[in-house]
Structure 1
Amino acid sequence: MLALFSLALAAVVAAQTLSPSVQHAKRSQLPSGWSRVRRHAPDAVLPLRFGLAQPNIDFNTLEELLNDVSHPESPNYGNHWTATRVAEHFAPSDEAVHAVTSWISENGVPRGRVHVSKTKGWIMLNATVAEAEALLNTQYHVYEHDSGKQHVACDAYNLPAHIVPHVEVVTPSIDFNAILSKRSSSSTSTHIKLGQPGTGTVNPKLTKSVSTILHELENCNTQITPACLRALYGFLYAPLAGSKNSYGIVEYTPQAYRPADLDMFATNFSSIGKTLIGARPVLASIDGGVVQDISESFDFNGESNLDLEYAMNLVTAQQPVTLYQVGDLEMGASFNNLLDALDGSFCTFEGGDDPTNDGIYPDNVAGGYQKDDCGIIKPANVISTSYGYNEADLSPAYTARQCAEYAKLGLLGVTVIYSSGDNGVSGNGGLCLNPDGTQTTDGKIFNPSFPSTCPFVTSIGATQVNPGAKVTDPESACNQVIFSGGGFSNYFPIPDYQKAVVASYLKNSPPPYASTVFNSTGLSRTYPDLAANGANYVIAIDGQFGLVFGTSASAPVVGAMLTMINDARITIGKTPIGFINPTIYSPAFRGAFNDITNGTNPGCGTSGFYTAKGYDPVTGLGTPNFPRLLAEWLLLK
């Protein structure tokens, strides 16, 4: 028997050693500005890295894992994972490590030169060009950029068939992730756009200055104040567990709050208990993020002022608010840079950040941030972000990688909130899709927003108190200045928690558009999940008061309410609510929202989608009924 087993094992090893070489990656063309100058010297040394595939990362597995800790009917509801468990569960297998290291050794590289990273995510060796070319059946060349920067890459590379399932990426290989010594003014990269004014991301819209603040609730149809929001949603709560709870607001440099404006807002809108005059968010700087005071105007201060003035007021001075300020003034940043800081393993997952869309740190430009912040921050219980891309701006692979990371945060017990966009069914900048995938202002195909289309975040749309209406009257979908972003993803499948409500919406309130206009299959993720008022917000901005509109306002308001629900649960010894979508779509929570049944979200030459009884892709499940939500979540385990 032992002899037979030995023969079988030898046959397997031989089959693996002789497995055919298959192409693993190929570049179709050179990036703009680069040209090939020569073959690389065979004795030159390359820092060769093999990024190993993460297990359990497919959509169905992630959804199953999240439902186990997030669905209210699960016996494990609220039993969130530790960061160590998350890292171990998604770490590459010992089988993958053994297979790759053995293959490298079989090809003449001594095992003593092959190293495995602590997370088991990377296998590393310093190889000569000749060794790397033999391993990968390729040729390495030196390329030069117009700026003079040089980079080493190959056009394509191969791996043995039995190694392919274990490897996500090899570096250096086909990618051009060299940090250029200067930036081209004609660059079309999107990574610096999140915090830059006038770039089409989700930014609040300023309509006019306000000389007189109307504090009375009967004026909420023309001016929204913290008092109006508390009245609209029954949001009266004084926190008790502030030191044990956390709420994070995300901003991207050069967006920055003005301290004097925070004090001006606090002076006019006192919160429950201790005053907020002089209070500041707790700064968590990521990749050189700084609250800059070089440029001051609504374009630079509007977003951050809005988010922090309302978030801090609504959770009161008893609950600290953390400001995740992301990106230096030179490079800027993206959502992936934020995720790098929250989870160190994400920095290298599937090859790491994309230089086309993300800030690549260290930033070696003069004045740039000289570190790479990976895993430096413990995530807050609730994280609210009022920025977004058009889904079509990014590749399906890029969005899938990021969406998987939001699922991991959900396993940790983090609630991730994104605003749904301000252009209805159009994308940022009023862009719509064409049949060839391009985006133009005269396109006819609906253009969904990311990360709102990721099934593992909670997307927030916008409502309004109608002109002339009372604060006690039903709200409508926001149709003043901005339109609540909403629609159907072209990338992500429908999650289990949405299947029933989306089927009901398409059956009972079918949109009057052809299948060529939007993803009408009923098999894709829809958004938003919830909504809150997004019209006529009074904010202090650059020393005066003004009125702003946007889902940029809706997101931090919902985040504040969820933070206070966490406070109540923590006070009585329960866990934070974590990923909320399976819960809010469950039958037990059906009456915990104010259903919005009036209004549409126009765009792309249409009226967009229509609100309806129950769920709709304009205002989601509706606006929060805070007392009902609090009661229901306190009843859960």
Structure 2
Amino acid sequence: MLLVSRLLLAVVLGLTSTSVIASPLVPRVPHERRGALPRGWNAVRRADSDFVIPLRIGLSQSNMQSLEDFLLDVSHPESPNYGNHWSPAKVAETFKPSAESVSTVRGWLVESGIGADRVRLNPSGGWLVANVTVAEAEELLGTEYYVYEHADTGHEQLGCGQAYHLPEHVSPHVELVTPTLHFDAKVKQRRGVPPEKRSVKSKVGNPGSGPVSPKTTGTIKNIFNQLEHCDEQITPICLQALYDFVHIPLATNKNSIGIVEYTPQAYVPSDLDMFFANFSKSQIGQRPNLISIDGGTIDIGFGGFDVNGESDLDLQYAMALVGKAQPVTLYQTGDDVEGASFDTLLDALDGSFCTFEGGDDPTADPSYPDPFGGYQGALQCGGVTPAHVISTSYSYDEWELTPAYEQRQCAEYAKLGLMGVTVLFSSGDYGVAGNGGICLDADGEPDFPGFAFAPAFPGGCPYVTSVGATQVNPGAKVTDPESACMQVIFSGGGFSNVFPMPSYQKSAVEHYLSKYAPDYPAGTYNTSGSRGYPDLAANGANYVVAIQGEFSLVYGTSASSPVTAAILSAVNDARLAINKKPIGFINPTIYSSAFQHAFNDITNGTNPGCNTNGFSAEPGWDPVTGLGTPNFARLVAAWLLLP
């Protein structure tokens, strides 16, 4: 967990003499801290004490201490319940907040002077809500509220200082309280902002907004769709050769694969046809099955590499690799005004996420109907069936979000795993650094000349499968071993500052640290037994992608994740064809001894950043390329042997 920001502390102390108000009632403990303000935000004034805010208290979920055990029970290859995935109803009921949590938190509010008639439990049982003044909120939470302004947009947002506090007996019953510390997605429009700045979009879909976004070296005129040129241009036949990927789908009516995009990122239909005309002629005219989530649209009115590159890349390669017979679902998330956060997608996939499990954070997640004029429908809560494999090529830097917010979201990925969903995320394109090469200082604050590594999220969540990047070395044959990607981008990897090491990777990670750990100064990266990522890798360099009517060379773990998703989807197809269950959460399986032979081990290359060489790719798992790249023939054979 990141330490308190010295810079923010100085700012807050400059505005007020203290950030904690002594309570005459009960002793309090810090519940959430923020290490630093996200880029661009600054405290500009104290909030008016009589301003009324909707205080929302997300209650702790039941049985969370058993979450990993539940997941391993259906996901570990040696478990007698392997593949016996849960129903959504069972997931919702198992993790519903307890009556004790409701009673304890409600009692605290009433005892603190908030009238019982002002406190209501939302219909789902996950939130306690009360409209309170800023003064009341400050007294309840032992903090002070400020108005924050974004330097680039002029948008303002209400939030508290670097921490808020809860009574000792209340804190275990609360996940998070809003509005408080969370700045990761939604921003509110300030009156008087010029029209050209009134587009309010989530950072997750904005060009270059996170540690994963494709890069390009420009357009190309000559296409070499030949195995002899895979060191210069990656096309579908190169990937099939690299990963022994030959498969004829047999169970497409049972199987499903989903690609997630966040508006304003959007594919161009004519680009798909241009790509298919060169690499998969039978798919000309084929489109992904669009599921629009909260106004998700590809009709955004403008284009270019920054807005079309991601979606074009993801869909062209996912669709070409799974072939014409296997439909691909596109989860287009968020309208073209507010955009979306990861929670917006999770709300739609699992209704319990926006009900039983506390609901959205109004200071972090977009609200629908869109108050700024976009999508006017209600927030989608459930109703979207998760695909068996879901690939996402977007992320945040871990330091940008609070640990409580990340932990709550990470738990939701575990619940998708319980339901048999494989969730893939790109690991990042800046090696051990964060977005744009940013690093951390000794206090965990973002600092470009900093020395400490900046891990990504959700890649560091132990309940997703994080995918790094490799390359065919210049001048090498497609049959030669790949290396960690060191052309244009560097494979994201390292160790989380939030999540502990999961049991399934303990042996692999400890082997790396005992034999190959770099000799860096203390504090350079987390050595306290934390989650290591990525889990595996696939090629991420020199992809030929049709974008706005031209072919470009594209680089990034943005490519690695959908390619891996296509290969795993084919494994599901093979299992479903013989009436077995989908592979679901794969991490316990791929780290098991039975699968050690199923990956092409990558032993060359590093992932530099923060004025270091980062980590090195070594035999076995490493925080550059994970367990290695997939060998489909071996993977499908091994998975077909499982129940």
Indicate yes or no: 2:510 matched with 1:503.
yes
Is residue 122–residue 129 contact of structure 2 (8 Å, CA) maintained in 1? yes
Aligned twin of 2:614: 608
Shift of 1:469: 1.0
- CA drift at 1:198: 3.5
- Who is 1:5 aligned against? none
Amino acid at match of 2:348: A
**Structure 1 residue 92 displacement after superposition:** 1.4
* Matched residue SS, 1:68: helix
Alpha carbons 1:21, 1:159 under 8 Å: kept = no
SS of equivalent residue, structure 2 residue 633: helix
Give the drift of 1:359: 2.3
Within the alignment, does 1:222 sit opposite 2:232 as a pair? yes
Is contact 2:97-2:356 (8 Å) kept?
Answer: no
SS at match of 2:597: coil
Q: Give distance in 2, aligned partners of 1:156 and 1:438.
A: 15
Question: Residues 372 and 181 from structure 1, CA distance in 2 versus in 1: closer, same or farther, beyond 3 angstroms?
Answer: farther
Q: d(CA) in 2 for partners of 1:154 and 1:421?
A: 30
1:483 and 2:490 are equivalent in the alignment? yes
Matched to 2:60, the amino acid is A
Change in CA separation of 1:21 and 1:418 when aligned onto 2, cut-off 3 Å: same
Aligned to 2:253: 243
Shift of 1:389: 1.3
Deviations 1:591-637 (A, max 9, x none): 00001111111111121111111111111100001001001111101
Change (3 A) 1:183 1:550: farther
Q: Which residue of 1 is the match for residue 631 of structure 2?
A: 625
Partners of 1:37 and 1:144 within 8 A in 2: no
Contact 2:97 2:357 in 1 (8 A): no
Distance 2:494 2:427 in 1: 9
Deviation at 1:372, TM superposition (A): 1.6
Farther-moved stretch of structure 1 (570-579 vs 28-37): 28-37
What code does the residue aligned with 1:601 have? N
Please say which of residues 177-186 and 216-225 is displaced more in the overlay.
177-186
Aligned to 2:17: none
What are the within-5 Å matches in structure 2 for residues 35-434 of structure 1? 35-37=46-48, 39=50, 51-58=58-65, 61-97=66-102, 117-123=122-128, 165-168=172-175, 179-180=188-189, 192-270=202-280, 275-347=282-354, 352-434=359-441
Corresponding position of 2:590: 584
Counterpart contact for 2:602–2:618, Cα < 8 Å: yes
Further displaced range: 605-614 or 115-124: 115-124
Contact 1:221 1:471 (8 Å CA) reproduced: yes
Q: In the TM superposition, what is the alpha-carbon distance from 1:357 to its structure 2 partner?
A: 4.0
Contact 1:246 1:321 survives alignment (8 Å)? yes
Distance (Å, rounded) in 2 between the aligned partners of 1:120 and 1:572: 41
Would you say the 8 A contact 2:178–2:361 is kept in 1?
no
Asked if the contact 1:142/1:152 (under 8 Å) is kept, the reply is: yes
Q: Which amino acid aligns with 1:265?
A: F
What is the root-mean-square deviation of aligned Cα atoms in Å? Answer: 3.8
Q: 1:173 to 1:219 in 2, by over 3 A?
A: closer
Aligned length: 606
CA distance in structure 2 between the partners assigned to 1:545 and 1:231 by the alignment:
22
Distance 1:332 1:34, change over 3 A: farther
Unmatched runs of 5 consecutive residues or more in structure 1: 1-18
1:286-318 per-residue CA deviation (whole Å, 9 max, x = no partner) reads: 221111241111111100000000001111121
Letter in 2 for 1:618: V
Shift of 1:138: 9.3
Aligned partners of 2:216 and 2:542: how far apart in 1? 9
Q: In structure 2, what is the Cα distance between the partners aligned to 1:144 and 1:435?
A: 28
- 2:601 maps to a residue whose letter is D
**SS at 1:88 equivalent:** helix
Tell me which residue corresponds to 1:463. 470
**Which segment drifts farther, 546-555 or 112-121?**
112-121
How far apart are the structure 2 equivalents of 1:426 and 1:608? 9
Deviation per CA, 1:470-505, whole angstroms, max 9, x where unpaired?
Answer: 111111111111111111111111111111111111
Q: Is the 8 A contact 1:191 1:334 kept in 2?
A: no
- Report which stretch shifted further, 490-499 or 31-40: 31-40
Indicate the SS of the match to 1:242.
Answer: coil
| 1:131-174: CA deviation from partner (whole Å, max 9, x where unpaired) | x979x979999999999999999999998876654444567899
What is the identity, as a one-letter code, of the residue corresponding to 2:73? D
**Which region of structure 1 is more displaced relative to structure 2, 113-122 or 199-208?**
113-122
Unpaired runs of 5+ residues, structure 2, are 1-23
* Shift, 1:346, TM fit: 2.2
CA 1:173 to 1:234, structure 2 compared with 1: closer, same or farther past 3 Å? Answer: closer
Counterpart for residue 3 of structure 1: none
- CA spacing shift, 1:154–1:215, aligned 2, 3 Å: closer
Distance 2:163 2:449 in 1: 38
- Contact kept in structure 1, 2:472 and 2:483, CA below 8 Å: yes
In 2, Cα distance between equivalents of 1:71 and 1:182: 54
Residue 549 (str. 1) matches residue 559 (str. 2): no
Q: 1:533 to 1:108 in 2, by over 3 A?
A: closer
* CA pair 153-319 structure 1, distance change in 2 beyond 3 A: same
Among 515, 524, 539, which residue is 2:530 paired with? 524
Residues 345 and 190 of structure 1, relative CA distance in 2, 3 Å threshold:
farther
Question: Structure 1 residues 85, 447: CA separation in 2 closer, same or farther (over 3 Å shift)?
Answer: same
Change (3 A) 1:154 1:357: closer
Post-superposition shift, 1:53?
2.0
Per the TM alignment, residue 208 of structure 1 is displaced from its structure 2 partner at its CA by: 2.7
Amino acid at match of 2:536: L
Displacement of 1:49 after TM fit?
A: 5.9
Match of 1:599 in 2: 605
- Bigger radius of gyration among the two: 1
Asked if the contact 1:87–1:119 (Cα under 8 Å) also holds between the matched residues in 2, the reply is no
- Using the alignment, how far apart are the partners of 1:151 and 1:512 within structure 2? 43
Cα displacement (A) at 1:520: 2.8
Q: CA 1:104–1:440 in 2, change beyond 3 Å: closer, same or farther?
A: closer
Q: Deviations for 1:260-289, whole angstroms, at most 9, x for unmatched residues?
A: 000111111127xxx211111111112211
TM-score of the two chains, using structure 2 as the length reference:
0.84
Quote the offset at 1:515 in angstroms: 2.5
Please give the secondary structure, in 2, of the residue aligned with 1:610.
coil
| In structure 2, distance between residues paired with 1:582 and 1:156 | 36
Query: What residue identity is the alignment partner of 1:64?
Result: D
User: 1:81–1:293: structure 2 CA closer, same or farther, 3 Å change rule?
Assistant: same
| Cα distance change, pair 24–190 in 1 and its aligned pair in 2 (3 A) | farther
| 1:39-65 Cα distance to aligned partner (Å, 9 max, x none) | 47xxx9x9776543211224xx22211
- Work out the CA distance in 1 between the residues paired with 2:448 and 2:557: 21
Partner of 2:566: 560
Matched-pair contact (CA < 8 Å) for 1:424–1:601: yes
Q: Residues of 2 paired with 1:87 and 1:48: CA distance?
A: 24
Distance 1:180 1:353, change over 3 A: farther
- Is this contact kept in 1: 2:295–2:334, CA < 8 A? yes
SS at match of 1:463: strand
The answer on whether the counterparts of 1:462 and 1:477 sit within 8 Å (CA) in structure 2 is yes
